């Protein structure tokens, strides 16, 4: 692929200014029946008149959205929207503070206000907007409210307890919930799976070593192995008899699976580890806990957090405290202070805990959106964003180097502070954002990007694709361990991350590089029979398809390629009657939900990005989608989106990125109005 004189890859087609012809002659109305799911609170179904009117509406919506997004930029150059998950973050924060004896009335009352506000009419708490009640989440929320002073006979608590008992009580909850309860004597440590700290000594080539787990899992498992070894019990301020169906407080005995099955093997392994606990040499166990503590402390970030995410910070603080670190120790003090930075205070006095913060991700996506929407590439806002992103590039090794020793660092993390765990997805999108900016220091851009490209190429897995944080993190064993019953604990390559890397490489003039072609081949092989792609880090098939199609066409696949046409057909088939697109998180468990859900701004944008990249600029499906975005935009230029369209663990942990509803619609509208993106930050001589 070569670059044109304006820095954009060749064969990019701008949209005609008038857009006067509608392509109904080759697209039928394949929207689905109206009884799939309602979209409450949205504007009436937008009517499509003729293309000039749609284009004019898109331009007005784009201008408003640009103004709104620019106003949200921080003075330092970054953007960050709230990252909303579920109330387990708030409940576990209160449990941590109770365990450490640092509860403050203001914090407790504010957290309780938020948790109560998330309870549904049936007494439960869900893990995503509109989702079903979830047992472990409901148990943790209930316990947190008890800590805040709510009584078991309060009507909202009675409803929750009755629902919990009807679904098996505490004994049916996940392992991590029962670990929290064991800390206060509400559950027996003997009835939990063993996590021996000696696993810290396993070499990286052995199964079940800590680097066989995804980075988010290993950061949690290492401190929990100390907690499991210590088995602390702090006196509980009340009993939880109302949440038990089994008076012995035990998990109902499960028949052992055959020893020839993997389930049977790991059940027997857990039994053996329970026996080992009783005979473990004290010196070996002590050395293992010291090594684990050293591993934890070495990975504390400059701001005091661990990995830029809340759960490892919580467990690390408990583990270190059990090993004698007092609350005034610099490591503990910095860790506790970091948790306060995950706090979002609402206008009503409620306090929500973010599981993570996403400034790098939000900033690169905002930069792309504004550039594609027509903001000048040398606009001060974009230059300032580029400066901030370049300052965040990670130039020291992290855990990823265990599998890629000798590879020069050069990636970006998701968060403000997370030098140990840069991710390939952020790195690809930051490069794409930097190339959209006409920065005055082109040499600095070039050096930054070159380093990032080398690191990204070095992080490719053996199958030719890319995962989020590690290379070849694909062992089948960690997910089979009894204590791994909550979400993904490995990090295999995914279509969405691979697509972003392929798109980045294509923009860098490497479309014909064998490594890029191998990525393209992997993506083509991963296409579902329906024509969609699975979305690992966004919900779900709409997200995956919205990432892959632009990557394939950027890498040179013609828009009439069978894979592209199948994707277009699928997107048109699942378009909602109101013109938008949506997908419920239940699609991770039930294929019948694929592409089904209330229309959302972010998912509508993802579908439009795929269709526009596929050459469907004048298709009626595109005009209807653009009309939906224009009609549902708020007066201030933003969109409302209560639905969760981000993914931490498919189904098990869902995310509502509050900036998604701004950046992705603006990107889609910008490309509809202005055509495919250009790359003024790319030197002509580089695009070879």
Q: Which residues contact 102 (CB under 8 A, 6 or more apart)?
A: 327, 336
Quick count: other Cβ atoms within 10 Å of Cβ 29?
A: 11
Tokens representing 20 are 């006067």
Nearest to 633, CA basis, from 554, 580, 564, 593: 580
Task: Label residue 349 exposed, middle or buried (CB < 10 Å: 0-12, 13-18, 19+).
Answer: exposed
SS3 of residue 538 by DSSP: strand
348 HSE (CA, 13 A, CB side): 9
d(CA 143, CA 348): 23
> What are the two backbone dihedrals, phi and then psi, of residue 100, each rounded to the nearest 5 degrees?
-85, -10
Best CA proximity match to 178, nearest among 115, 231, 120: 231
Which residue from 70, 59, 2, 73 is spatially nearest to 671, judged by alpha carbons? 59
Give CA separation, 399 vs 217, 354, 392, 412, 420, in Å.
13, 24, 18, 14, 6
- Say how many C-beta atoms besides its own lie within 10 A of residue 612's C-beta: 25
Work out the number of other CB atoms within 10 angstroms of the CB of residue 431.
Answer: 28
The contacts found for 129-132 with CB under 8 angstroms, 24 or more apart, are 129/642, 129/643, 129/644, 129/656, 130/584, 130/598, 130/642, 130/643, 131/585, 131/586, 131/644, 131/654
Strands (E), 461-539: none
| E strand or H helix that includes residue 52 | helix 51-71
Write the burial class of residue 328 (CB in 10 Å: 0-12 exposed, 13-18 middle, 19+ buried).
exposed
Give the count of beta carbons closer than 10 Å to the beta carbon of residue 85: 22
Of 271, 290, 311, 313, the residue nearest 197 (C-alpha) = 290
- Give the DSSP letter of residue 596: -
β-strand pairing of 351-353 with 653-657: unpaired
Residue with tokens 């784009």: 62
**How far is 418 from 469, CA to CA, in rounded Å?**
12
DSSP assignment letter at 196: -
The residues near 610 (Cβ < 8 Å, ≥ 6 apart) are 545, 546, 548, 549, 550, 567, 568, 571
Here the tokens at position 28 are 């039928």
Largest distance between two CA atoms of the chain: 80
CA angle 380, 384, 388 (to 5 degrees): 170
Gap between the terminal Cα atoms of the chain: 6
Judge whether 35 counts as a catalytic residue: no
The residues near 101 (Cβ < 8 Å, ≥ 6 apart) are: none
Q: Which of the residues 90, 399, 423, 425 is marked catalytic?
A: 425
Of 296, 509, 510, the C-alpha closest to 420 is 296
List active site positions. 425
């Amino acid at each position: 692929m070569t670059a044109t004189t304006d820095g954009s890859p060749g064969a990019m087609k701008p949209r005609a200014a008038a857009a006067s012809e509608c392509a109904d002659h080759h697209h039928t109305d394949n929207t689905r029946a109206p009884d799939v799911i309602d979209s409450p609170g949205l504007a009436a179904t937008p009517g499509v008149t003729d293309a000039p009117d749609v284009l004019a509406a898109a331009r007005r919506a784009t201008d408003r959205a640009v103004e709104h997004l620019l106003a949200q930029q921080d003075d330092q150059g970054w953007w960050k929207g709230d990252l909303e998950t579920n109330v387990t973050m708030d409940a576990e924060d209160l449990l941590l503070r109770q365990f450490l004896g640092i509860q403050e009335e203001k914090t407790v009352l504010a957290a309780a206000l938020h948790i109560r506000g998330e309870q549904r009419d049936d007494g439960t708490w869900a893990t995503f907007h509109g989702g079903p009640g979830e047992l472990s989440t409901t148990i943790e929320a209930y316990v947190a409210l008890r800590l805040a002073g709510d009584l078991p006979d309060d009507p909202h608590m009675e409803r929750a307890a009755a629902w919990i008992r009807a679904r098996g009580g505490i004994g049916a909850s996940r392992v991590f919930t029962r670990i929290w309860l064991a800390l206060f004597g509400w559950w027996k440590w003997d009835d939990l799976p063993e996590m021996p700290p000696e696993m810290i000594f396993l070499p990286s080539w052995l199964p079940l070593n800590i680097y066989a787990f995804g980075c988010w899992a290993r950061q949690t498992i290492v401190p929990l192995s100390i907690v499991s070894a210590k088995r602390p019990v702090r006196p509980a301020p009340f009993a939880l008899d109302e949440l038990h169906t089994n008076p012995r407080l035990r998990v109902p005995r499960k028949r052992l699976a055959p020893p020839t099955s993997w389930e049977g093997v790991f059940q027997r392994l857990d039994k053996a580890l329970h026996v080992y606990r009783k005979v473990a040499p004290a010196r070996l166990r002590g050395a293992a806990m010291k090594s684990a503590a050293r591993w934890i402390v070495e990975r504390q970030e400059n701001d005091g957090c661990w990995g830029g995410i809340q759960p490892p910070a919580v467990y690390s603080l408990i583990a270190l405290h059990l090993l004698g670190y007092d609350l005034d120790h610099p490591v503990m003090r910095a860790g506790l202070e970091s948790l306060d930075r995950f706090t979002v205070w609402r206008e009503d006095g409620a306090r929500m805990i973010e599981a993570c913060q996403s400034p790098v991700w939000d900033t690169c996506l905002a930069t792309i959106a504004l550039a594609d929407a027509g903001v000048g590439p040398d606009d001060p806002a974009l230059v300032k964003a580029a400066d901030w992103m370049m300052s965040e590039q990670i130039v020291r090794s992290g855990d990823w180097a265990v599998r890629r020793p000798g590879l020069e660092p050069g990636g970006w993390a998701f968060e403000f502070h997370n030098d140990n765990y840069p991710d390939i997805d952020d790195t690809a999108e930051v490069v794409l954002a930097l190339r959209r900016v006409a920065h005055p220091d082109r040499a600095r851009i070039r050096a930054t990007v070159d380093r990032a490209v080398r690191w990204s190429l070095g992080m490719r897995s053996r199958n030719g694709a890319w995962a989020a944080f590690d290379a070849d993190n694909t062992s089948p064993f960690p997910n089979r361990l009894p204590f791994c019953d909550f979400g993904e604990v490995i990090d295999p390559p995914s279509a969405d991350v691979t697509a972003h890397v392929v798109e980045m490489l294509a923009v860098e003039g490497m479309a014909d590089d064998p490594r890029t072609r191998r990525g393209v081949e992997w993506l083509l092989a991963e296409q579902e029979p329906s024509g969609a792609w699975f979305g690992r880090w966004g919900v779900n098939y709409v997200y995956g398809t919205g990432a892959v199609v632009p990557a394939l066409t950027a890498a040179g696949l013609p828009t009439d390629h069978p894979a592209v046409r199948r994707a277009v057909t699928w997107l048109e088939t699942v378009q909602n009657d109101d013109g938008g697109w949506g997908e419920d998180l239940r699609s991770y468990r039930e294929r019948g939900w694929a592409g089904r859900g209330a229309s959302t701004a972010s998912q509508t944008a993802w579908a439009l990005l795929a269709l526009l990249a596929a050459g469907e600029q004048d298709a009626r499906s595109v005009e209807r989608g653009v009309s939906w975005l224009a009609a549902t935009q708020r007066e201030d230029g933003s969109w409302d989106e209560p639905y969760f369209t981000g993914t931490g663990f498919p189904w098990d942990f869902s995310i509502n990125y509050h900036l998604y509803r701004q950046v992705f619609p603006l990107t889609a509208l910008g490309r509809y109005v202005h055509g495919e993106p250009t790359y003024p930050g790319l030197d002509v001589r580089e695009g070879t």
